[in-house]
Amino acid sequence: MRALALIATVLALQMAPAFAVQPDEMLRDPALEARARALSQQLRCMVCQNQSIDDSDAPLAHDLRVLVRERLSKGDSDGQVVDFLVARYGEFVLLKPRLEWRTVLLWAVPPGALLIGGATLFVLARRRRSLASKPLDDVERRKLTELLDRPNR
C-alpha cells in the first residue's frame, strides 16, 4: 500500500506545472517580477508552440523571458511589451489572440459551431417527437394487429 502511495505521489508531482524561470532571470523588484510572470504566461514559446514562455525550457523562451524583464525594467508598460513582441514575432506570439478584424473568424467559429449544433439537435429532437406522436394509419394498424395476434413461436 505504501508503494502505491509513493508511486501516486511521484506521478502527481510529475504532472505539476514546471516553471522554467531560472533564479538568475528573476527581477529583484517583486512587483516587476509579478508583472513579468503574468506577461510570460500570456506569451507563446515559438519553439514549443503549445507552452507559454513561462513554462518552456527552450533557449528562445529564455531569451524572451529576459527580453520581457529588460523592457519592464526600462519602464515599458505591459501593453508596450506585448506590442513590441507582436511587432517582432507577429500575433502568433500571443497565446490568446486579440479580437481584431483579422481574428474575428477565429473568435466566431467556436460559438457559431456550438449554436448550429444546438439548433440541429433541437430540430432533430422536435422532428423525432412529432413522428412518435403521429397516429397510425389503417395499413399500419392492420400490420400491428396481425403481429399481435400471431401465436408465440
Same domain, 83 and 141: no
Reported as a pLDDT band with limits 50, 70 and 90, residue 46 is confident
Same domain, 14 and 73: yes
Task: Between 48 and 24, name the one with better pLDDT.
Answer: 48
pLDDT at 15 over 60: no
Identify the pLDDT of residue 16: 45
Of 70, 93, 116, the position where a domain reaches its end is 93
For the stretch 139-149, pLDDT in tens is 988 998 988 88
Same domain, 35 and 81: yes
Crossing angle of helices 30-40/78-89, nearest 10°?
40
Backbone angles phi, psi at 119, to 5 degrees: -65, -40
For the stretch 90-122, pLDDT in tens is 888 888 887 778 878 888 899 999 999 999 999
User: Which range among 5-19, 83-97, 129-143 has the greatest average pLDDT?
Assistant: 83-97
Structural domain for 84, as ranges: 2-93
User: With a threshold of 0.85, does the pTM exceed it?
Assistant: no
Of 71, 93, 115, the position where a domain reaches its end is 93
Task: Assign 3-state DSSP to the chain and report helix, strand, coil percentages, each to 5.
Answer: 65, 5, 35
What's the total number of domains in the chain?
2
Can you give the CATH number for the domain in which 60 is found? Answer: 1.10.8.640
Number of C-beta neighbours around residue 84 at 10 A: 14
Q: Which of 49-53, 76-80, 143-147 has the lowest mean pLDDT?
A: 49-53
Same domain, 75 and 134: no
Say if 99 falls within a structural domain. Answer: no
Q: Each residue of 10-33: b (16+ CB within 10 Å) or e?
A: eeeeeeeeeebbeeeeebeeeeeb
Identify the pLDDT of residue 14: 58
Of 93, 117, 135, the position where a domain reaches its end is 93
CA distances to 11, 58, 89, 132 from 49, in Å: 25, 11, 13, 51
